[in-house]
Amino acid sequence: MLNVFQMIGAWALGILREMGSMFIFLVNTVLWMFRPPLKLGRVMRQVSFIGSKSVPLIVLTGGFTGMILGLQIYYTLQKFGAEGYLGPAVALSLIRELGPVLSALMITGRAGSAIAAEIGIMRITEQVDALESMSLSPFRYLMVPSLAASVISFPLLASIFNVVGIYGGYMVGVKLLGLSSGTYFSGIQDFVQMEDIRDGIIKSLCFGVIVMWISTYQGYFTRHGAEGVSRATTTAVVMSSTLVLVWDYFLNSLMI
Amino acid sequence: MTMIEVSDLHKSFDGQEVLTGVNFTVEKGDVFAVIGGSGQGKSVLLKHLLGLIKPTSGHVYIEGEDISALSGPALYKLRDRFGYLFQGGALFDSMSIFDNVAFPLREKTKLKPAEVKTRVDEELDKVGLTGFGHKYPAEVSGGMKKRAAFARVLVMRPEIVLFDEPTTGLDPILVDSVHRLILWGQKTYGFTAVIVSHEIPKIFDVAGRVGMLDKGVMVEVGTTGEIRNSGNPVIRRFVHGAGENLNGENSILNAAGRA
């Protein structure tokens, strides 16, 4: 019986230790971000990897998300004779929620996993130790550029997702289902406020920090060779995705 | 003058003791070899000298300064005196050989690009890698990676160079080349060297003093002659290559039934 309590206690202490380690890691990364010189070249390289190279994926998923929303919301609104609200319904769903969340999940799968793997491989091949041996901080060279790049890229990618999604909804609602184009867009103009766009951007920024924080953390603390890299990559994706959804709920409860 | 002093160094990982009271000193300009069987903690010991690992207890002094107690800018300042050649080279995969060697110059000095190029070309020439600067680590052999990594170390003219099994995985000809490179580097730049190595007896031609690490302690430290002629059975077995089979018989020939 005592063994069961010991096991539960050890597990709980392990979780607390991990949370503390992750928090310290985030604080160190943020502190190094404000210590010059900022490696702008590396930041731009990461913006290209996390941002520009994710655009095709974001366009594809945004477009189809908008089209699905167009179909489903039209079907629902039709029951109330309110098809005219299709435009604002699609736009608000995307801008406030689906744009930031789905784009964050897509980028997690693509860039978050890659960054966790890259840093993990650097760790097991002693490249991180090589940086340390040259008195160069791995935070400055690996973590800060990724975090800075995701703070820049996530809101921009979410915005692209939203725009493409709104046009996806337009294609379905107007071209396919016969809603008037003026009704679709004027509804968006009437009902979408700056606060909605602001809330969406704040969510994207938070998700960018969460995804890169967890991905770089998992990569940095990789152990045990190839299996460790695999585990770090999987954990990075699963933990980031889960935390994005959990944090989304808390943000919504504050914003609405 | 004592450059490195290791004092009663202990290190445990998850309750398992790896180093159990290591003591030795390295004088300035010495080439000191750490020998010992696999898994005895030689690489762990080496990383303590650079402060990459913190001890569970004990101290590592670099010219009197306790590196094991330092962190942040003070630690980085002391590390500037070091170069470290990792076992696999630890070259940055995403950079060419040239950019790898240039990396510390670009990050830590104010040299102009032309000056960086001159220095890097010189170092690559010294290690026999002229013409390979544009290649990436994945495109070159293990021996070339080690030489490129050595060039990256030498380009900063360190006072102390730590070598973690610099010849592991290399053929005998390359082993000789690397040893000659180490000796040449030490004579040219006058650094203090600590070399972790399995290469018995070739390491005795490179090192001035040798320490044998066994079961987490330095069982003996002395000149190469003293270690070669040591009466300590652990050292004799290691130096003269007598193996054990799994149930502890002393001769591999006995184990094979051929004694």
ipTM of the complex: 0.86
CA distance B37 to A41: 44
- Do B15 and B137 belong to one domain? no
The pTM score is 0.88
**3-state DSSP call for residue A130?**
helix
Tell me what the pLDDT averaged over chain B comes to: 88
Across the range B5-20, mean pLDDT stands at: 91
Mean pLDDT across the stretch A190-198? Answer: 95
Per-residue pLDDT band for A234 (boundaries 50, 70, 90) equals very high
- Nearest to B161, CA basis, from B39, B49, B38, B254: B49
Residue B246 — very low, low, confident or very high, per pLDDT cuts 50/70/90? very low
Is A136 inside any structural domain? Answer: yes
Structure-token match 């900063």, residue found: B156
Report the chain A residue with the minimal C-alpha distance to residue B85.
Answer: A130
Instruction: Find the range with the poorest average confidence among B60-69, B90-99, B152-161, B232-241.
Output: B232-241
Does the CB of A227 have a partner CB in chain B at under 8 Å?
Answer: no
CA of A125 vs chain B CAs: smallest distance (Å): 6
Structure-block tokens of residue A42? 């590396």
- B72 lies in which domain range? 1-81+158-232
Rounded Cα distance between B191 and B60, Å, is 18
Given a contact cutoff of 8 angstroms between Cβ atoms, the answer to whether A57 and A159 are in contact is no
Q: What is the mean pLDDT of residues B97-126?
A: 95
Considering only CB atoms, B90 lies closest to which of A126, A136, A137, namely A126
| Amino acid in position A111 | A
Residues B64 and B186 in one domain: yes
Q: How many domains does chain A have?
A: 1
Q: Residue B104 is nearest to which of A122, A125, A134, comparing CB atoms?
A: A134
Q: Verify whether the Cβ–Cβ distance A135 to B79 is below 8 Å.
A: yes
Beta-sheet pairing, B82-85 with B31-35: unpaired
Whether residue B247 lies inside any domain: the answer is no
Q: Which residues of A touch B108 (CB under 8 A)?
A: 134-136
In chain B, which residue's Cα lies nearest the Cα of A126?
Answer: B90
Domain contains B123: yes
The nearest CA of chain B is from the CA of A154 a distance in Å of: 24
Yes or no: say if A233 and A117 are a contact pair by the CB < 8 Å rule: yes
Residue A11 is assigned to a structural domain of this protein: no
For residue range A158-183, list pLDDT tens digits in order.
999 999 999 999 999 999 999 999 99
pLDDT level of residue B236 (50, 70, 90 thresholds): confident
CB within 8 Å of chain B, chain A residues 103-132: 121-122, 125-127, 129-130, 132
Residue A17 touches partner B, C-beta closer than 8 Å: no
Q: Do B131 and B223 belong to one domain?
A: no
Instruction: Name every chain B residue with its beta carbon within 8 A of the beta carbon of A126.
Output: 86-88, 90
Q: In B, which residues are within 8 Å of A127 by CB distance? A: 90-93
The reply to whether B18 and B119 lie within a common domain is no
In the structure, what pLDDT confidence band is assigned to residue B242 with cuts at 50, 70 and 90?
low
Nearest by CB to residue B90, choosing from A125, A135, A136, is A125
Q: Which residue of B has its CA nearest to A39?
A: B107
**pLDDT of res. A23:** 96
Domain boundary among B157, B191, B210: B157
Of B82, B93, B107, the CB nearest to A136: B107
Q: Which residues contact A82 (CB under 8 A, 6 or more apart)?
A: none
* A121–B90 C-beta distance less than 8 A: no
Residue A31 lies in a domain: no
Of B157, B189, B204, which closes a domain? B157
Q: Is residue A33 part of a domain?
A: no
| C-alpha span between B199 and B175 (Å, rounded) | 8
Token pair belonging to B159 = 């006072």
**Do both B188 and B153 map to the same domain?**
no
- Give the burial class of A47: count Cβ atoms within 10 A of its Cβ; 0-12 exposed, 13-18 middle, 19 or more buried: buried
- Residue B93's closest CA among B19, B143, B149? B149
Question: How far apart are alpha carbons B162 and B175 in whole angstroms?
Answer: 17
User: According to the model, what pLDDT value does residue B257 have?
Assistant: 52
Q: Spell out which chain B residues touch chain A, with contact meaning CB-CB distance below 8 angstroms.
A: 47, 50, 52, 76-77, 79-80, 82-84, 86-88, 90-93, 103-104, 107-108, 156
Residue A169's domain comprises 42-255
pLDDT tier, B243 (very low <50, low <70, confident <90, very high otherwise): low
Residues B70 and B144 grouped into a single domain: no
Residues of B in contact with A122 (CB under 8 A): 92-93
Q: What is the mean pLDDT of residues B251-255?
A: 49
Q: Tokens representing A194?
A: 């700056």
Residue B101 forms part of a structural domain: yes
Contact A183, A173 (CB under 8 A): no
Residues B12 and B121 in one domain: no
The rounded distance, in Å, linking the Cα atoms of B105 and B85 is: 17
Q: If contacts are CB pairs under 8 Å, which of residues 30-89 in chain A contact chain B?
A: none
Give the pairing type, strands B16-27 and B2-13: antiparallel
Q: Which residues of A touch B87 (CB under 8 A)?
A: 126
What is the distance in angstroms between the Cα of A136 and the nearest Cα belonging to chain B?
8
B241 falls in which pLDDT band (50, 70, 90)?
A: low
For residue A26, tell me if it sits in a domain.
no
Return the percentage of chain B with pLDDT > 90, whole number: 58
Inter-chain touch B87–A126, beta carbons under 8 Å: yes
- Whether residue B238 lies inside any domain: the answer is no
Q: Are residues B18 and B146 in the same domain?
A: no
- CATH number for the domain harbouring residue B22: 3.40.50.300
* Total domain count, chain B: 2
How much is the pLDDT for B258? 45
What pLDDT score does B259 carry?
Answer: 43
Q: Which residue has the tokens 């054990």?
A: B244
Residue type, A35: R
Rounded distance between C-alpha atoms, residue B136 and residue A131, angstroms: 18
Residue B104 shares a structural domain with residue B129: yes
pLDDT at A24 over 90: yes
CB contact (8 A) between residue A129 and residue B90: yes
pLDDT value for A1 = 75
